[in-house]
Structures are given as structure tokens and as C-alpha cells.
Structure 1
Amino acid sequence: MTPHSLRARRRTGVVLAAALIAGGAVAALPTSAVAGPHGHGHGHGHGHGHGPAEDPDFGPNVTFIDETWSTDEINEFLDSVNDEAEFSQNRHQVFFEPGVYGSAAGEDDPATAEGIINAELGYYESVDGLGGRPDDVVINGAIHVEPHVECPETPWACQGPGSLNRFWRSMANLAFNPIQRPTAEDAARPFPAGVAEPHQMRYAVSQAAPLRRVDIQGDLTMFGRFGEYASGGYLANSRVEGTITTGSQQQWYTRDSTVGTWEGGVWNMVFSGVDGAPATDFGQPAGEGAVGVKTALDTTPVTREKPFLYRADDGELRVFAPHARTETSGTNWSTDASAGESLPLDDFHIAQAGRDTAASINRQLRRGKHLILTPGIYELDGPIRVKKADTVVLGLGYASLTPTRGNAALVTSDAAGIHIAGITVDANVPESEVLVRVGKECPPSSAKGHGRRHHGSDEDPTTLTDVFVRVGGPWVGKAVTSIEVNSDDVLLDHIWAWRGDHGNGIGWEDNTGAHGVVVNGDRVTATGLFVEHYQENQTIWNGEDGLTVFYQSELPYDPPSQEAWMDGDRPGYASYRVADHVRRHEAVGLGVYSYFWNGVDIRAESGIQVPETRGVTLRSMTSVFLDGSGGINHVVNDTGAPAVGSFASPQVISFPSS
């Protein structure tokens, strides 16, 4: 793939471009991969009147924008990095320095508004503000996500795929005065997708596309203009002053935020710690034959916000690493010492793909450095080993790790407070036993609840945030387990483990993966857990006192026969499996969906399987028949109606029933 045209200038007035290809780095990639990332150099200096003259070198795929850029230059640049293909190997991180961008003059009439920031957000593109608070970077305009337009002449007639594959993009730490217009070729269509109402921005995404720490000073719509399908999503530590309209979104999880009004939703809408959240109505009549799909918790049991890069008052770039908190609600945008630790960049090793290896990264970690992974594809002949307590590993712009020798991509010790955030992991060949492992490898007895336990800290939990794992898609990949958690007191905040159903290297015998997430530790909490298409139990919970708030899963699409997909004598595998020995577990807001596409009547006996004991309780569960043949016989164990045919979506309000 050729580099984008480099049309935007840097703060220094110099255009910097570099291809991130080191000797031998590309040759080891699978044949389906394109040569390593190309992109835009970053600008030095930061436009402040004090502080150092230059920032550290973040490599060619990180760009800093400040107020010396004109609106046209910003839009042109954003348009040059938002057109990556779904499985491109290019990665982009864009930072906005504190300031105000674009004009608010046309905010009441987007059709005629001029001078606004207006661009779409593409694959493998992260756009973040560098302020201490979201409203330190104000964008008059919109950075928006639109569905795929299948039928330009009659878009209302083509609901799919819509936004079902709008993955792997993010925004954070920004304030928007929403003024949205169609962009590029969309503006020339007879019915542009990018038209929005005054004071509204569209973010029509599915998995792995989080909004964090954003301030929407108006309305936010999360589905296409013409009602196209969408399967999201995740919003956290954010404020939306107006109305959030989710429309066709099949499911959505919102955490620790403030919203004006919430409208819409299809099967599983979960809120925890959200001021202004709608009342719980899951399983209750909702008018005109509809049934409620919303579940709201007053607080989130455990939170630790994602670390982020910001410009401190002295002009230095620093990383703010928030503390963990319990029973939280609403936004927390503080960078005070009471809220977390402000870490100087001298304490970090800033890695670049093609230059750094597993060995060079691990040397820096052993020296006590934190780690920033700049955008790119990191080929690893051994795992990144994170051993020291409270180490921060922060990926920028969907930095991606892939093992090359059947190894894990990243492993941690049992030390407390390690924070892994913002990384994507791609399985490769030969097969890996595990891709991401938290805590020392457990002996077999530990998985049965009898072995040596690994101790974390409930006040300083090791945390995985925005960690996305793929088995197949970019190329053939194989991994028995994608994420294994062996430590106690771990927080999983927004995980998508995905055995690919489309892309490169896809097939029942090709991209093999048994389990997405296996939890062996005690007191592990998951907030926003997405696990899809694995070939056996997709999530297995062996540890005690586990808690999940929101779970979304699709069963594998591609079992060739019922005989090929049996859990002993039980038809199919439950997606969410709590081991029989577990005595205490809680889960809220679980949806398991089926689409068996081989034309065979394949069944899963239940989407959820748990021991029937007083300490294991579940609320707000649904099974859904999406399409295809067969379906799910019961929602949980032998409870709940079948989800077979015609978008059936039976619900179970609580289990055991009260």
C-alpha cells in the first residue's frame, strides 16, 4: 500500500514523512500482510511560550495539530488518514493541542456552515485531545462515523452491513460543539449519509470503537441516517448534554457518564454509574407490544480510567495514570494528585514498530520504565514481559502486537496495579497457547479452584483497558486462548476478543480458537466484555467472586455440523460458562446471539451455563437469533424460551428466579 499524500504541514512548517519499514521487519509478516505502516511525521515544538523546544520522537504515525493549522489544513489532513481498509496494516494517532478549532458561526444550520472541523473517523485512527480536561480542546464541527453505503440511490433499502463492521477507531479527551456536514464523495450522493440535525454528531460504530472522556455539547446519534444496522459499543467517562439516540444499535454499554436523554436500543442496553440513565425496564412491557431492554446500575463497582497523554501547565507532555475507584458514577476529569499520578515521559520507553523488538522492549521494562507503543505492527518472537507493579503500557493509534513463534504477545507478573491499555493483538502461526496472560501460568489444579492462588490488590487492580484481540482477519491466526487471567483482583474494562468471521485466513480449520477469555483469578471484574465466534466456551470463569457488567457475544457462525460442535453430550457450547465448582459469581446484562450460516440445524443448548447455587446470580439476559439456521434452545441452563427463527429474542430477567 502506498503512503497517503502528505498534504498537511506541521507546526514547524515542514512536512515530515517516513515509512516505518526496518530491515527484515516486513519479510516475517504473513503473505497476506502488506508492507509495514506508512504515514505522517510528527511536528516538533508545541506552540507554547514556555517549556522545552521539542517533544520526544513518537515516530511517523503520530501527528500533533495546534491552532497554527488552518481549518482547511486540518480537514485535509484528517481526510488523508481516514481511508484505511478494514484490515490495513497502517495505524494513525492524531493529537489536538489545547485550543479552539473551527468556527461556531454556523452551528444552527449545518447545511450552510463554513469554517468547521468536519471529517470522518477511519479504521485504526485514534483522535485525542491533549488537555487536562476534555473542554481544553474544543472542536466546532464534527469528527464522525457513518455506515457503509451499499445502495447510494436508495440507502433506506440497504440496512446491512451498515455499521456492523465499523470497528477499530476511537476518540478521547475532546469537547465537541456538534456541527456536522457530509464529507468527500458522500456529499455528492443523492442522499448523503453524513447529514445531521443541528447540534448533532453521528458516531455509528460497532465493537472496538470507544468514546472516552468526551464532552458532546449537543446531541449524539449512534446509528445511520437511514436506520442501518449497528452492533456497538462503549461510552465511558463522558458527558452528552443533549439526547443520545441509539436507534438500531443492538447493544451498548455506557459507564460513569452524564447524559441528557437516552433514546432507543434493540436487545441489551446497560448503564452503570450514569447520571441521567433511563430506568431499568428489561423484560417489562414497553408499549405497543415491545419489551424493555435497558438495565441501569446506580454505580460501577470498580473503575480505573484509561491512562492518557496530556500537555501539563509547564508545556511538557506527560501521561496521567488514574487511580482505581469503587462505586463510581458520573464523570471524573480531574488530573489532581488525588485522582491519579502524573508521569513524566522520561519515565517511559517510547517504542516504534520495526525498530523495537520484544528483547529491546523487555530491557527497558526491566530498567523500571513504563512503555508507550507508538502506532504500528510489532512482530514479536517472544512476549512483552511486564513484571513491575504499577507499570503503564499505553498503546497509541491501535498499536498492534503479533507473535511469530507460537509465543504469547504480552504477559504480566502477579504484581499489583499494572495497567495495559490501548493495544490490539493479532494471532499468527504457528499456534499460540495464549496471546495475553495476566499473572503467572496456573497449574492445572488452579483452574479447578484448588491450586495456588495469585494475589493482586483490590485497591490497585491490574487493569486491561481497550484491549482488542483478533484470531484471523488480517491473516491466518491460531490461538487456543486469547486472554487468560490468573491473578486475583483484576479489572477488564472494554475487551473485544474476536475470532474473525470475515477477512483473511477465515475458516473452521483455519483461524482456530477455543476460548476468548479464561478467568482463573478471584475477584475479577469485567465492565464491557465482548467475546465472539470462538469454537468452544468463549468465556470461562473459574475464579470466585467474579463480576461482569455487560456481556455481548455471538456464537461461531461456521460449525460445519452439530457433531463438530458438541460439549460432550451437550449440543453446542455455552458462550458464558461459570465453572461448576464456583460458588460466588454475579453478572448483569448478558446477550448471546446465533447465526449458523452453513444451512445446518445447529443448536446451542444454552447461551449461558452456570452452577445452580445461591451465590451465583445473573440479571438481564437474552438470547437472539440473528439469521441462518438452528439457534439457541435456552437462555441460561434450561431456563428461557428458544431463540430460533425470525429474530427471536427471549429474555430472562433473573436467575435463579426470585
Structure 2
Amino acid sequence: MKCRSRQYLALGALSALTLALAACGGGSSNPSTETAAPSAAADPSAAKPKVDFGPNVLIFDPGMDPAAIQTQVDIVYSQQHANQFGPNRYALMFKPGTYPVDVNVGFYTHVIGLGSSPDDVQVNDLHVEADWLNASQDATQNFWRSAENLSVQHPANVSPYPVRWAVSQAAPMRRVHIKGDAFLSSPWCGWSSGGFMADTLIDGQINSCSQQQWFSRNDEWTSWVGGVWNMVFVGVQNAPAAGTWPTSPYTVVAQTPVMREKPFLTIDGNGNYSVFVPALNANTTGTTWHGHAAAGTSLPISQFYIAKENVDTAKTINAALAKGLNLIFTPGVYHLTDTIRVTRADTVVLGLGVATLEADTGLDAMDVADVDGVKISGLLFEAGTTSSPALLKVGSSVTGVSHAADPICLYDIYARIGGQIAGKAHTAVEINANNVIGDDFWLWRADHGDIGLTTTGWTVNPAANGLVVNGDNVTMYGLAVEHFEQFQTLWNGNGGSVYFYQSEEPYDVPNQAAWMNGTENGYPSYKVADTVTTHKAFGVGIYGFNFVTTDRTVSLANAIEAPQQPGVSFTNLVTVALDGNSLISNVINNTGGSNIGQNGAVASYP
């Protein structure tokens, strides 16, 4: 993202919200604790067991007073509106039904419909506004929030504007049905800098407006307008015509080669919770659910351990995983003194409310074994003040094990080094296993933080690499990596595929001598190792912004470096000097020209 301000507003504590909720009516002060209280005539042994998602999950029923629901939603939003680096995390869950409420989504807020189809839950409005940073039109810091599995009616009297989803990184929309048009910025086309949408239906037109880059996968809409630098569409119905790059910023891939959609929570008519795990699909176009039932498997909630902030530790979580349970992280910040170890094949780990795992003692936050079918979703991995080798590691070493029939899948994976604290790590995410699918990554060495705290700087929050891929046949959809001090992405495995790449080089290089890759100026953002023989990437955007404050002569030789092999190809590449300075000398392998006063661009390589 392009940082335009470092504003931060400290808001109320969780205790204040809890007290307010208790006074709202329409539910208890702990609305996420659900129990089936039998009637006098019922057999008590038939009562469903209690499901406790903790105090940071608010569960709404269509029988509740809409005004009480609106009050609760508004209280959460008032806390999270500008709370960019605060500790509070929330999930708002809606049981199947219709809700005449307006859901404004702030930081660390996860909006969830609990039906089997998005159309089982309908709200009046669902939106993210560009109304807190700078001149009320800047969405370049609208991070860490999400919505999934519901529909939006958006009647005419709700707003004079279409649904607004004015976001940048780490703000996915999944399995949503918008019954009308949608904007991906403020209605005035203010600044916005990247986003992710998947398995979503827009009945009308979608307007990207000012979005500098965007990734859409397996979506459906009537039409699309807008685009700035790098807009990528994979398996999308009615994607815009590709045109001539870079005059047309569109990259269109007709089918999604391989994908299993993100698992999600549901509840049935008897009040039983489960997690639906969608089936693995190949060569698809459009959504998994529109016009037909989604294929997959339901896992009862009894097969999940529900972890809670300030209750669970790495020890309790690992004990549950060792018993063969799956895992749900309820919203919160989990301070870890050991590594969470996922070792069983097909384990599902589901994060709610941007659940945050902080590596406090210099260990990995999570290690995933080299086994089939693990699914990890919805987690923010936070570096602690003692440097970790990696925040998330998938496979401890490179092996010949294939997971092609049952891939390891990683959804909505975020890493943060600095910003909230002066975090340190060598690498954000390291993938050693084969046949891993990544779907929506934002790996961020912070370029800004909370006002008044020193949480960023070349030696304050050091981190060498964002993503390191050592495994073979790894596929990434929607990959964003920013500001690391060496390679943003280092790809050592064969058979890799990347569909959309967004990256910014570090802003804070002190001088050229501090940023040398051997004898070459700077580290390429995207480095494919010389030993690689097969690799492909589609829609690659790499940006620079005043790398230093004192030495404006610092430059980068190549944004991308890759071996010249018949099996290595790149389609639609662009570099941009965000502040107008000469920063990047070449797009790829000493070709493509510099971005002196213009974009560097290459339509295909070789």
C-alpha cells in the first residue's frame, strides 16, 4: 500500500463494549455462548452441548429486535473504525434469516453468515468506507477485516451509492452475493490500493474506480469498469476484455487451474454448528454455489477445539491438536511462548476475527507438517521483539512427497513485522512442502505504525524475506509482499504459479551500501532461483516509494530476476515509481526500461 498518513485513534476497551452490549437488549452480555435449553416436557439428555465462542463473537438471530442488533453492530464499529493497531478483535455472526441492518466493517472485524448458501443470510447493507484517513477518501490503510457467506439487499433507501468495499490488503470478500452494483473505493474514487474477492456474485456492475491493483477469482458479475495498474481476473465470468498491456491494465486467465475454497462455519435448523470444507476443483469458472449446491464435507463442531484469547496457550492448543481435533481460533491476540504444531493430515484451522498469533520468544508461531490436506485460514502472524526464523513454516524441509490429490491450502494469511510492536523475524512465511495452494496473502514488514511509538525502521523491525518457497508445484492466488530488506519473494521450487503479485520495496533503506545484492543495486522483489526450470506468473506489479529519507540516489537494478528457461514465463509486468523518482532501473533481467517519470512495463517474458 502507499502510506499517506500515520494516523491512529485509540478507542474504548473490550470491557466497555461488553457492558454496552449487556444494556442493548436482544441477547445476553455474552451473546456467543449458545446452549439448547430444553422445555419442561423435553428430555434433558437430548439437549445440545454448549458451544462457547467467547466474548468477542456476537451471534445474531433473525428473531432479535433489529434495533438491538444495529446497536451492537454500531458499538463494535465505533471501537474499530480507526483502530488500526489496537488489540480488540471481533466476529459478527448472523444465523440464517433477513436482517434490516447496516453493517459497517471496521478493523479486525469479521462478518460471517452461518447459512449453507450466501442467500440464507441477508443484510440491508455491508460496506467499508474511506472516511477516517486524510481527506475522507483514502482507503490505502483499510486493512485486516473481512466478510463471507451472506447476501446484501441494499434497498434504494439505504444509501444513494452502491455497496462500497473501499479496502486495500488483508480485507477479503468471499462467498458474498451483492444484489446490485458495487464500488471498490469511496464513491468519489479516492485512493485505494489492492484487494481480494473470491466466489462472489455481483448482480450488477462492479466499479474498481481508483483501485491501483485488484485480484478477483471465481467471481460472477454483469460487467466491470475501472482499473489503474494491475487488475487480475482468474476464472471470472464476464471479466473485462484483456486489451493491450499496459494501456489496458487487465490480465485475464479463463479458468482457475486448481482450488479448494476456504472452509466456513454453518448452523442448521436445529442449532447444530459445523464447518463446511469445500471440495477440491480443477479448471473452474464462476462461483461454487450460484445455481447449484456447493460440493464438500461438513465437520461437526464437536471435532473442533475452540481456542480463546487469554485462556489458551501454545501448550493447550498443541494438546488439543495432538488429540486429533481441528482448531478454531476465536477473535483475539494469542501470545505464544512455543510453536503451534499442526501434524495431522486434513486438519482444519479456522481463524475468526483476524485472530492474531504473536511469536513472543523468537520461535516460529506455527509449523505445519508435510502431510496431506491441511487447511489454515484467517490468521495474522505477528513477530515478537525477539527475532523468529519464520512466523509460519509449512513442511520442515524439502521432500519428494506429493500432495497433488489433497493439497495443503492456506487462506487469508497475513504476517506483520513491526507496526504494532518493534517485531523482528528473518522470514514471514516459508513453504517447504509440495503442492501447496495459497489464496490471499499479505506479508508486511511495516512501513508505519502507531503514532508515538518507535515500531518501524531499518534496524527497528528488521526482516530479510517475506515469502520463501522451496517446495515444488506451489500455486499462489493473490500474493502481496511488502518492504522486506532483501527479497520480498524468493522462489526456489519448480512448477510454481503465481496469479497476481503486488509488492513494494522497502521505504527506509538508509543508503545504497546498505542495500546491495552482491555487486548489484538492491534486491529484486521477485527472485526465481537460477536452478528453477519451470515457473509462471500472471499480473505482476512492483512499486517503489522514496526508498530513503537522506539519499535519494538509491536505486534497484531489477524488479524481477528469473532464469532464462523455456519453462519460465511472466505475463503482464509493471513497475511504478509512486513518488515520481527514478528508483527501478529495469522490470526484469535488465529489460523493460526504468520507471523514470513513467511506468516500466513488459507484456511477456521471455
Tell me, yes or no, whether TM beats 0.5. Answer: yes
| Residues 415 and 618 of structure 1: CA distance in aligned 2, closer, same or farther (over 3 Å) | same
Tell me which residue corresponds to 2:356: 400
Tell me which residue corresponds to 2:152: 176
C-alpha separation between the residues in 2 aligned to 1:650 and 1:400? 37
- Do the aligned residues in 1 keep the contact of 2:26 with 2:68 (CA within 8 Å)? no
> Residue 396 of structure 1 aligns to a residue in which SS?
strand
Which is worse superposed, 117-126 or 387-396? Answer: 117-126
C-alpha separation between the residues in 2 aligned to 1:630 and 1:338? 49
* Offset, 1:371: 0.4
Tell me which residue corresponds to 2:549: 598
2:448 maps to which of 475, 498, 502: 502
> Residue 511 of structure 1 aligns to a residue in which SS?
coil
Tell me which residue corresponds to 1:92: 90
* Offset, 1:333: 2.4
| Residues 8 and 255 of structure 1: CA distance in aligned 2, closer, same or farther (over 3 Å) | same
1:406 alignment partner AA: G
| Residues 10 and 322 of structure 1: CA distance in aligned 2, closer, same or farther (over 3 Å) | farther
Tell me which residue corresponds to 1:234: 196
Q: How does 1:117-156 map to 2 (within 5 A)?
A: 117-139=101-123, 141-149=124-132
Deviations 1:350-400 (A, max 9, x none): 111211111111111111100001111111111110001000000011110
> Residue 51 of structure 2 aligns to a residue in which SS?
coil
2:166 maps to which of 204, 215, 224: 204
- Do the aligned residues in 2 keep the contact of 1:204 with 1:223 (CA within 8 Å)? yes
1:15 alignment partner AA: S
* Offset, 1:302: 1.4
C-alpha separation between the residues in 1 aligned to 2:128 and 2:181? 14
C-alpha separation between the residues in 2 aligned to 1:367 and 1:535? 40
Q: How does 1:210-609 map to 2 (within 5 A)?
A: 210-283=172-245, 291-333=247-289, 339-442=295-398, 453-504=399-450, 505-596=455-546, 597-599=548-550, 600-609=552-561
TM-score of the pair, normalised by structure 1: 0.84
- Do the aligned residues in 2 keep the contact of 1:414 with 1:454 (CA within 8 Å)? no
Q: Is it true that 1:639 corresponds to 2:604 in the alignment?
A: no
Deviations 1:425-444 (A, max 9, x none): 100121001110000135xx
* Offset, 1:46: 7.9
1:521 alignment partner AA: G
User: How many residues of Structure 1 are paired with residues of Structure 2 in the alignment?
Assistant: 579
1:480 alignment partner AA: H
- Do the aligned residues in 2 keep the contact of 1:320 with 1:335 (CA within 8 Å)? no
**Unaligned ranges ≥5, structure 2:** 1-11
- Do the aligned residues in 1 keep the contact of 2:37 with 2:47 (CA within 8 Å)? no
> Residue 13 of structure 2 aligns to a residue in which SS?
coil
* Offset, 1:315: 2.8
> Residue 588 of structure 1 aligns to a residue in which SS?
strand
> Residue 627 of structure 1 aligns to a residue in which SS?
coil
**Unaligned ranges ≥5, structure 1:** 18-40, 103-116, 183-194, 285-290, 443-452
> Residue 247 of structure 1 aligns to a residue in which SS?
coil
Tell me which residue corresponds to 1:70: 65
* Offset, 1:70: 2.3
* Offset, 1:323: 2.2
* Offset, 1:456: 3.5
C-alpha separation between the residues in 1 aligned to 2:596 and 2:178? 40
| Residues 375 and 276 of structure 1: CA distance in aligned 2, closer, same or farther (over 3 Å) | same
2:66 alignment partner AA: T
2:446 alignment partner AA: G
Q: Is it true that 1:626 corresponds to 2:582 in the alignment?
A: no
C-alpha separation between the residues in 2 aligned to 1:331 and 1:643? 38
1:457 alignment partner AA: H
- Do the aligned residues in 2 keep the contact of 1:383 with 1:409 (CA within 8 Å)? yes
| Residues 374 and 275 of structure 1: CA distance in aligned 2, closer, same or farther (over 3 Å) | same
- Do the aligned residues in 2 keep the contact of 1:10 with 1:43 (CA within 8 Å)? no
* Offset, 1:8: 4.2
C-alpha separation between the residues in 1 aligned to 2:131 and 2:290? 37
> Residue 68 of structure 2 aligns to a residue in which SS?
helix
* Offset, 1:336: 9.8
C-alpha separation between the residues in 1 aligned to 2:163 and 2:508? 37
| Residues 278 and 338 of structure 1: CA distance in aligned 2, closer, same or farther (over 3 Å) | closer
Deviations 1:512-549 (A, max 9, x none): 11111000000000011010110101101100000000
Deviations 1:199-228 (A, max 9, x none): x21010000000000001100101112221
* Offset, 1:177: 0.9
Tell me which residue corresponds to 1:57: 52
Q: Is it true that 1:167 corresponds to 2:143 in the alignment?
A: yes
C-alpha separation between the residues in 1 aligned to 2:464 and 2:34? 46
C-alpha separation between the residues in 2 aligned to 1:474 and 1:309? 29
Deviations 1:81-130 (A, max 9, x none): 1232100100000100000111xxxxxxxxxxxxxx22421000000100
C-alpha separation between the residues in 1 aligned to 2:529 and 2:38? 56
- Do the aligned residues in 2 keep the contact of 1:196 with 1:202 (CA within 8 Å)? no
- Do the aligned residues in 1 keep the contact of 2:33 with 2:52 (CA within 8 Å)? no
* Offset, 1:44: 2.2
C-alpha separation between the residues in 2 aligned to 1:607 and 1:497? 18
1:501 alignment partner AA: D
Tell me which residue corresponds to 2:7: none
2:549 alignment partner AA: N
C-alpha separation between the residues in 2 aligned to 1:348 and 1:12? 30
- Do the aligned residues in 2 keep the contact of 1:520 with 1:543 (CA within 8 Å)? yes
C-alpha separation between the residues in 1 aligned to 2:50 and 2:114? 13
* Offset, 1:247: 0.8
| Residues 265 and 356 of structure 1: CA distance in aligned 2, closer, same or farther (over 3 Å) | same
C-alpha separation between the residues in 2 aligned to 1:437 and 1:582? 21
C-alpha separation between the residues in 2 aligned to 1:9 and 1:541? 51
C-alpha separation between the residues in 2 aligned to 1:58 and 1:621? 44
C-alpha separation between the residues in 2 aligned to 1:164 and 1:510? 23
